[in-house]
Structure 1
Amino acid sequence: MSILQSRLSPEIDKYQPIEQAGFRSGFSTTDHIQVLQQVMEKYKEFNRPLYIAFIDYAKAFDKISQNAIWEAMKKYHINQNYVRVLKNIYEGSVSQVKLETRGLDIPICRGVRQGDPVSPKLFVMVLQYIFDNLNWQSEGIRVNQDQLTHLRFATTILYYSLKQVRD
């Protein structure tokens, strides 16, 4: 599977924004930590309110819709040969429950495969597919003329806001 990962990674990475550091070669989550520290220092220095939310997506790997994977691959024009290989791998996936002497096959229709080196790439691709559909240009904070709404680590996303939200 690492051959598929090495060929698929550049195709997926070209659609990833600078905010995506986790599961991406040439990027480091420590850079995001430094950005976070600098932003916090500046907002504290100027006595401005800043709200930061950390959301852990580790459990989302098992919940992601496989249809969302295929839709994202279509949107980002991923090579159809790679899509076909992945569909063959995913569409035949089953979990088996053994009841006394019989086995019961249960098709697996969601989640990315655990331990598969391609899975993190598929996950961040679907995450980007979701983020592309969000309308949040007015959210986040200004950093050197750029709007910064979030930073993506490996399984955690950090959201910036100037407004406190309560339920």
Structure 2
Amino acid sequence: MKVGKLVGPDGIPAEAWKACRNISVTWLTMLFNKILASGKMPDAWRSSTIVPIYKKKGDVQQCSSYRVIKLMSHTMKLWERVIDTRLRAASEVAPNQFGFVPGHSTTDAIFALRMLMEKHREKQQPLHLAFIDMEKAYDRVPRDLIWRALRKKQVPEHYVSIIQDMYRGAQATVRTQCGDTRAQPVTVGVHQGSALSPYLFITAHWCQLWTNS
């Protein structure tokens, strides 16, 4: 886990866990095993803080003129990494998925596309390409689609329930110059800045692509 990051609402920095070394490992192992057995994470992890940052262009009164940073519990992020590792081991990611997959990059996708174009050019065959620009993709993923996609991928039901619990009761405040706003429920999309969100996003996207198969 990287250090020097802003803390979430629980106020615990990543440096605290790194400083305690073996004590942290022992304590976190006990905590995570308890969460794994009960299927319920601490309620303090359900809160987050959204920090809007002006893009330095556009109308300052328009939300689209800002990008956001979401501050979440660093301890929760460690827990998410544990679940992410187990999910990737339990379910296979599509071989043509390049983004958010360790050992792969968009460069691989570009290379594969260029090879495909060359082959079709040699054989004088038509090739159809589709480019999709997903605006605010993380913010708009329906959560019912995520649960359905996980089950379609044959992820063990216990892990599906654990992930559902991560999103149950999620709420966020917005940091302003006048202080933080009142907490509001977050009922759609995956968490910004979450260690688990990339896997959930590509799994839900895979389900959408092959929904008619």
TM range (shorter): 0.5 to 0.7
Contact 2:173 2:180 (8 Å CA) reproduced? no
Deviation string, structure 1 residues 74-109 (Cα, Å, up to 9, x no partner): 2222123322222222012113469x9996443211
Gaps of 5+ in 1: 136-167
Deviation string, structure 1 residues 5-32 (Cα, Å, up to 9, x no partner): 11122224x1x32221211234343222
* Secondary structure of 1:9's aligned partner: helix
Residue-pair matches, total: 133
Higher relative contact order (CA 8 A, sep 6+): 1
State the distance in 2 between where 1:22 and 1:115 align: 16
Query: Is 1:11 equivalent to 2:124 in the alignment?
Result: no
Q: Aligned pair in 2 of structure 1 residues 41, 89: CA closer, same or farther (>3 Å)?
A: same
TM-score (norm 2): 0.53
Q: Aligned pair in 2 of structure 1 residues 76, 40: CA closer, same or farther (>3 Å)?
A: closer
Q: Structure 2 counterpart of 1:131, which letter?
A: L
Q: Which residue of 1 aligns with 2:101?
A: 24
Higher helix share: 2
Residues 18-27 or 59-68, more deviating? 18-27
TM-score (norm 1): 0.65
Q: Aligned pair in 2 of structure 1 residues 57, 9: CA closer, same or farther (>3 Å)?
A: farther
Deviation string, structure 1 residues 108-130 (Cα, Å, up to 9, x no partner): 11110011111010011111112
Q: Structure 1 counterpart of 2:141, which letter?
A: I
Kindly, what percent of the aligned residue pairs are identical? Answer: 33
Higher strand share: 1
State the distance in 1 between where 2:151 and 2:133 align: 27
Q: Which residue of 2 aligns with 1:149?
A: none
CA RMSD of aligned residues (A): 2.8
Measure how far apart 1:47 and its partner are: 4.6
Contact 2:172 2:183 (8 Å CA) reproduced? yes
Q: Aligned pair in 2 of structure 1 residues 51, 5: CA closer, same or farther (>3 Å)?
A: same
Deviation string, structure 1 residues 33-86 (Cα, Å, up to 9, x no partner): 112112223334455443422213362111001111112222222123322222
